[in-house]
Structure 1
């Protein structure tokens, strides 16, 4: 009973954190980021049917504010199911989108579809460009992380998580990938070696993961991890 209560409290805290993050993005004029995070909060709220009305109303209010505040500049149409995440390339010329239709799509900034990556067997929940812009990582509900070239070639598939992957991120040198999963772990992958290093465990279903900018070498990353400053999760 106590464990169930703690789980529900953790879910409420995560929903409220996503709602607050969405409002910060909106105030910072990062409208697309605000929309993505608020939609994520909305999806989690839908699953947590036991959430009290006040928390429910706050999330709905934020979502409504974000939706009305976002100005459409272009429309990217091509996915056949819900879009779960988008990401810009470092040079701002390309947009990657991932969807419940199990695909990753690349678009130019004018909304033209460049290519579609197929290979995941479950909804694709997260996507990230490497800092050098040459590689895309995708995380999926099929429990895997995939690496792709910008031309759609599947470079590698990383298997090690036991539940859905919610977030992926490249290290500043583009050589390592961190992944966050519903299995309550964050794993670090070397793009040349398909063997994960479990960095953090027993995190309440982390939804995103990022590297701190100063992290450059694996030993530094591991040491900083111990103080929770090398990899950040939400």
Structure 2
């Protein structure tokens, strides 16, 4: 995909959704951090169901510490890997209280030093809570970047680095949300909705025509 196509793609995504944001529910950087920790290998819907009660019980690191591991587990036990996630949340809250005055740090190294927080989670927090032009590459973005030809790469880090390089500066802040939502609802893994895709004519996916034809056949049936 050349630079002109990339710009057109982002312009269309921007026109369709001028102010994209995460589908996770949160009211503070701390709540966002906890929600993203919980979202690993879990759907945003299941995380939102868990945090609806968790954040009522504890919306600060201090309050979360008071709940303890078992208290956190009581709210998140329906989420995958809830045992390790609850432990990481309590460890993270202790570090936030003891080393950061109870605040979420606006620093990549400090964020990645927190238990349960990797580069992707740090990127989400930096972007969504603090407005940094980072791009957190998850499975959806990895797929969209490779399938469309926007920013091909064999690893998540390669795709992230490529996206940061080829995305025009004015689109970098929102690129993460546009691409994840596009991958979640349009450029899906098994049955991409190419017939309804607003950037289909810009996409370099070689199987695009077959996907459109298959969708048309299914609708006709």
Q: Could you say whether these structures have the same fold, taking a TM-score greater than 0.5 normalized by the shorter chain as the test?
A: no
Greater RCO, CA 8 A, separation 6+: 2
TM-score of the superposed pair, with normalisation by structure 2? 0.28
TM-score of the superposed pair, with normalisation by structure 1? 0.27
Structure with bigger strand share is 1
